[in-house]
Amino acid sequence: MFDYKVEWLVENRVIRIQIFGEYDVEPVQAGIAKTKALVDAGTSPVHVILDSTGVTKMPKSIRELINQMEVLRYHPNGGWIIIVSNNVMLRFAGQIATVFLGANHRSVATYEEAVETICRIDPGIADALRQTLPITSA
């Protein structure tokens, strides 16, 4: 079973999409449509963190996932799309796509890396975004 969660991390500026289970095109399309509605209502640039660490089975074609993300990549309010993946091949494919497509996209291994990437790109929201990081004990 495939499921997703879409939420604002920083109201009107940063969205987190979490996806879980075996990849299925219909829930992904529904999640992207919900995300697009948030980007429509957001304040440019709206950044997206796509956390795919809960996915147990990836699509056979990464191109399929990239095609579904087109509506976000070229959105007038769109900012950076950061994909969090524990799959080395998916992160590598994401880096290749960035080079060839010139997209505002990065692939990282952890949520913390995703947050720090956006904080470097858009320092004006850094304090609010860092507050979404889990509290760690020393």
In a domain, 98, yes or no: yes
Give the sheet arrangement for strand 2-10, strand by strand. Answer: 2-10, 14-22, 46-57, 78-84, 105-108
Total number of domains in the chain? 1
Q: What is the mean pLDDT of each run of 10 residues along the chain (138 residues)?
A: 92 94 81 94 95 81 70 88 80 63 80 96 96 74
Model pTM score: 0.86
Residues across the chain: 138
Residue 57 within a domain: yes
Residue 135 lies in a domain: no
Which tokens belong to 24? 């299925």
Identify whether 136 is part of a domain. no
What pLDDT sits at residue 2?
84
Measured CA to CA in angstroms, residue 64 lies from 10, 75, 108 at distances of 28, 18, 20
Containing structural domain, residue 9: 2-130
Whether 137 is in a domain gets the answer: no
CATH at residue 54: 3.30.750.24
Within its chain, how far is the Cα of 75 from the centroid?
14
Give the model's pLDDT for residue 23: 77
- Is 109 part of any domain? yes
Residue 134: DSSP 8-state = P
